[in-house]
């Protein structure tokens, strides 16, 4: 298992004894496994964009919004910024924070364009629009290609369902709140129609969706780091979204091996065209649903001699 923490950890012990009762020396073997669900590092904002020079396009719809204030139905008051930016932790000195600040300023410029409803981007500090540098509060795994690659591999290991690149689905269901799942797409995913899901959705290529797409949990667009929406629709993302470009070449999306990993964070893309009521609501309880969707995986294994 790679760098992401997983807890609580349970220890399973198995003992096998040779069934031959006539044998004086019976063969015995005892093995212990440590198992746990994969736990993602805490998300620092409703929408987190990791890397420099983000490309961001937002609609001028009066009903579209990104809200970092925790869903009141959760009762946890775990409020976050609406949009958080992260710099490359591989940089020395004040580099990462400066990079995250520059990215934040780029986003604020995009959100204060005349056609954009700036009040629709709200969060923990009441800024308008609420876009913040979250470098100092983000888990270090989110700040480097290596750390984000660790997250990718751990989610892949816990996958309930895996799709190949180029998957195009109409009216899809990626789990439910009663039965969430970990969905992994090794490459590009295109979703249309009245689609929904719950749990964790990882897309290593480009995530493109249109129509009404409703999701409860955590969406990770880590790899090529491109999320784009077209058309209207009234679906909503509830939970959190992370977009990061860590692809060193075009092969990473379909083969996220270390050899295809970038040395530094690339520019993430968040293009949300069209109107409609699509948006993002931060929700700690939807994120909990995502965490519970992961199956137990083996953290460690040992054979005991006695």
Confidence at 26, pLDDT banded by 50, 70, 90:
low
Q: Which residues of 21-39 are buried (b: 16+ CB within 10 A; e: fewer)?
A: eeeeeeeeeeeeeebbbbe
Query: Residue 120's pLDDT is what?
Result: 87
Model confidence pLDDT, tens digit, residues 195-253? 899 999 999 999 998 878 899 999 999 999 999 887 656 678 999 999 999 999 999 99
Q: Nearest 5°: CA angle at 46, between 42 and 52?
A: 90
Mean pLDDT score of the chain? 87
Tokens of 9: 């950890």
pLDDT of residue 266: 96
Residue 293: pLDDT band by 50, 70, 90 thresholds? confident
Q: Would you give the end-to-end CA distance of the chain in angstroms?
A: 27
CA of residue 295 relative to chain centroid, distance: 16
| For residue 259, pLDDT beyond 90 | yes
- Most confidently modeled of 33-37, 82-86, 162-166, 228-232? 82-86
Is the model's pLDDT at 187 over the cut of 90? yes
Res. 4: pLDDT tops 60: no
Given this model, what pLDDT does residue 34 score?
A: 79
Three-state secondary-structure class, residue 18: coil
Task: Report pTM.
Answer: 0.87
In which element (H, E) is residue 238 found? Answer: strand 237-247
pLDDT band at 2 (very low <50, low <70, confident <90, very high): very low
Instruction: Note the pLDDT of residue 99.
Output: 94
CA 53 – CA 266 distance, rounded (Å): 8
Q: pLDDT category, 23, cuts 50, 70, 90? A: low
CA atoms within 13 A on the CB side of 5: 7
Tens digit of pLDDT for each residue in 56-114?
887 777 778 899 999 988 988 899 999 999 999 988 777 899 999 999 999 999 888 87
Nearest residue to 282 (alpha-carbon basis) of 72, 60, 39, 4: 72
Largest CA distance in the chain: 88
């Amino acid at each position: 298992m790679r760098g992401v923490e997983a807890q609580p950890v349970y220890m399973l012990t198995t003992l096998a004894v040779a069934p031959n009762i006539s044998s004086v020396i019976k063969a015995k073997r005892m093995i212990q496994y440590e198992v746990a669900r994969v736990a993602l590092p805490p998300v620092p904002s409703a929408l987190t964009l990791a890397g420099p020079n983000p490309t961001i396009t937002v609609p001028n719809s009066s009903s579209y919004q990104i809200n970092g204030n925790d869903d009141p139905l959760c009762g946890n008051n775990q409020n976050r910024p609406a949009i958080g930016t992260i710099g490359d932790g591989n940089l020395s000195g004040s580099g990462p924070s400066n990079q995250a600040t520059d990215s934040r300023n780029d986003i604020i410029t995009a959100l204060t364009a005349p056609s954009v409803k700036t009040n629709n981007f709200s969060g923990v500090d009441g800024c308008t629009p609420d876009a913040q540098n979250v470098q100092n509060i983000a888990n270090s795994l989110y700040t480097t290609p290596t750390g984000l690659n660790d997250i990718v591999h751990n989610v892949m290991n816990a996958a309930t369902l895996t799709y190949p690149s180029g998957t195009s689905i109409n009216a899809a269901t990626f789990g439910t709140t009663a039965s969430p799942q970990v969905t992994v797409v090794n490459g590009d995913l295109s979703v249309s129609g009245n689609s929904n899901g719950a749990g964790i959705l990882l897309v290593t290529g480009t995530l493109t969706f249109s129509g009404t797409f409703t999701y409860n949990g955590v969406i990770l667009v880590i790899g090529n780091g491109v999320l784009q929406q077209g058309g209207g629709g009234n679906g909503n993302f509830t939970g959190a979204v992370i977009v990061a470009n860590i692809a060193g070449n075009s092969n990473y999306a379909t083969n996220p091996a270390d050899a295809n990993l970038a040395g530094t964070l690339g520019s993430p893309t968040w293009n949300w065209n069209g109107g409609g009521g699509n948006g993002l609501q931060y929700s700690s309880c939807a994120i909990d649903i995502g965490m519970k969707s992961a199956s137990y995986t083996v953290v460690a294994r040992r054979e005991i001699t006695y």
